[in-house]
Chains A and B, each alone.
Chain A
């Protein structure tokens, strides 16, 4: 059974600092890994999708890496801004039913 863990559960940084969010998963036989952002009371916005054959994906200030063999992914957000404050969720697609299994999220606060 796939389990996804995100550490830390919460993170507070001053504006301009780089953010590093960690995600680990127990079953390395994955199809892909997806990072989402969730704002309070809102739905999820997809940030990056990394296929199992890829090592990283980049979009603007965001970079996500994937090390399938060790069951880890890291999301880097460069030069953080107050607008980056949100909960970031990691999700792994795996298993016979191609299920998406979510981590518990990291709640980020970027202070001006």
Chain B
């Protein structure tokens, strides 16, 4: 029944490793997003995709690469992880880009040691 799901929920890894976070939505939405919530709890947009096409790409290091194999999935791959990448990453979706409510996943807590 879960609308927006993310895996894994927790991810602990060493500096320099490469890791992926997966996101899936079963709402039939066209647009998906990735957000980062840092230790001070500020939420910032990283990427958004509409119908598998990249719409927003904020000032994010190119170590972060989103991939959307289809409309229902938006995965986030991170290369050469750094300590500063430790945060909670949220996936979200909305029916359309501009006017609709965004629905968030439960988050993935990434800890880089």
Contacts and interface: CB of A to CB of B under 8 A. Distances in A.
Contacts of A36: 104
Contacts of A26: none
Contact of A42 (B100, B101, B106): B106
Interface extent on A, as a size class? 20 to 34
Interface band, chain B: 20 to 34
Interface stretch (B13-21, B38-46, B62-70, B76-84): B38-46
B43 A102 contact: yes
A39 B11 CA distance: 20
Interface in B90-105: 90, 92, 97-105
Contact of A105 (B33, B41, B104): B41
Between A32, A34, A44, A101, the greatest number of chain B beta carbons within 10 A of the residue's beta carbon is seen for A44
Main secondary structure of the interface of A (DSSP, over half): strand
A76 interface: no
Interface in A62-112: 87, 89, 91, 93, 97-102, 104-105
A46 interface: yes
A51 interface: yes
